[in-house]
């Protein structure tokens, strides 16, 4: 899946993919990486490129000869998919984010097997190397309910830009003109506006040009409208029912119990309960 996000500073292209497993045929694996390379070649050179997903690649902690594309915070021993992925990153000048930042083992693990024994770092986020300094952090969120045996992998990215010298006045929103249908509010609005215009008329001189007069008239309307009728209140509507929110909370609590247990037996039981809730 490819998505391109446009901005005033620099566009960002995201490529999300799922790699064939280690047991896949070599021809299928080569065909997949050929398709991935062709997809990357179509991305504009000016874009910030981010490649991420379930890559099933272990890249370990030895970056000898690969210093430009990975750090020493990888986990496990490099497998065949790891070699293919590191070669792909070297060709397209990408850096593997999860190998750059020091974390405890539990925050590097991205996948746990159903038997709660095998743990690997096989989900990765790679970013264009020239934007390496904009990548602030990469870690897993162990407590998030992702409905999967994978942990959610998160990256913090902050692009440094030149601050604009132009000052913008904050906008508070639109005026709630619907309130003027109330005769009492409409009467108060007209009375205050009339008083403003009378005071403005006394200040009028022949020295003022049309632009100054228009600015004072506009400001009078704005200042009165801020008082009455005031601004609209934009209230967000719930897009899910209360029943759905309760089920989500229940699942999050079950996922939290999976990560909080101290013994494998307790963890296995909590994991079994969580699987039942997911169904």
Instruction: Clarify whether residues 26 and 115 are in a common domain.
Output: yes
Same domain, yes or no, for 137 and 9?
Answer: yes
As for how many domains the chain has, the answer is 3
CA distance 246 to 251: 9
CA angle 8, 1, 89 (to 5 degrees): 80
pLDDT digits (tens, 9 = 90+) for 20-34: 776 667 788 888 888
**Per-residue model confidence as pLDDT tens digits over 118-164:** 888 899 999 999 898 889 999 898 877 767 888 889 999 888 765 65
In a domain, 146, yes or no: yes
Cα 234–Cα 172–Cα 212 angle in degrees, nearest 5? 145
Residue 207, domain member (yes or no): yes
Q: Which domain holds residue 183?
A: 177-227
More confident residue, 222 or 156: 156
> Smallest Cα–Cα separation from 257: which of 232, 238, 275, 241?
275
Residue 170 lies inside a defined structural domain of this protein: no
The torsion region of residue 159 among left (phi > 0), alpha (psi -120 to 50) and beta comes to beta
Whether residue 127 sits in one domain with residue 37: yes
**Is the domain of 15 the same as that of 133?**
yes
Reported as a single tens digit per residue, the pLDDT across 81-90 is 888 899 999 9
Percent pLDDT > 90 in the chain is: 21
Which class for 57: exposed (0-12), middle (13-18), buried (19 or more C-beta within 10 A)?
A: buried
């Amino acid at each position: 899946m490819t998505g391109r996000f446009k901005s005033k500073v620099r566009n960002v292209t995201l490529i999300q993919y799922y790699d064939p497993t280690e047991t896949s045929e070599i021809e299928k694996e080569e065909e997949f990486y050929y398709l991935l390379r062709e997809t990357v070649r179509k991305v504009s050179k000016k874009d910030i490129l981010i490649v991420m997903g379930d890559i099933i690649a272990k890249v370990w902690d030895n970056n000898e000869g690969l210093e430009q594309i990975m750090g020493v915070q990888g986990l496990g021993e490099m497998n065949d998919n790891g070699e293919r992925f590191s070669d792909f990153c070297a060709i397209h000048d990408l850096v593997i984010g999860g190998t750059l930042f020091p974390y405890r083992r539990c925050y590097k693990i991205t996948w746990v097997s159903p038997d709660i024994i095998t743990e690997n770092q096989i989900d990765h986020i790679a970013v264009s190397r020239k934007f390496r300094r904009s990548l602030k952090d990469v870690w897993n969120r162990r407590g998030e309910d992702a409905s999967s045996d994978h942990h959610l992998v998160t990256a913090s990215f902050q692009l440094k830009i030149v601050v604009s010298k132009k000052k913008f006045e904050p906008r508070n929103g639109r005026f709630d003109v619907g309130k003027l249908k109330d005769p009492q509010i409409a009467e108060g609005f007209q009375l205050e506006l009339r008083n403003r215009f009378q005071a403005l008329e006394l200040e009028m001189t022949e020295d003022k040009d049309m632009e100054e007069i228009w600015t004072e008239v506009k400001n009078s309307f704005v200042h009165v409208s801020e008082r009455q009728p005031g601004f609209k209140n934009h209230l967000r509507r719930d897009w899910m029912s209360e029943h759905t929110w309760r089920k989500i909370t229940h699942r999050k609590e079950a996922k939290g119990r999976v990560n909080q247990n101290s013994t494998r037996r307790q963890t296995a039981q909590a994991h079994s309960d969580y699987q039942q809730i997911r169904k």
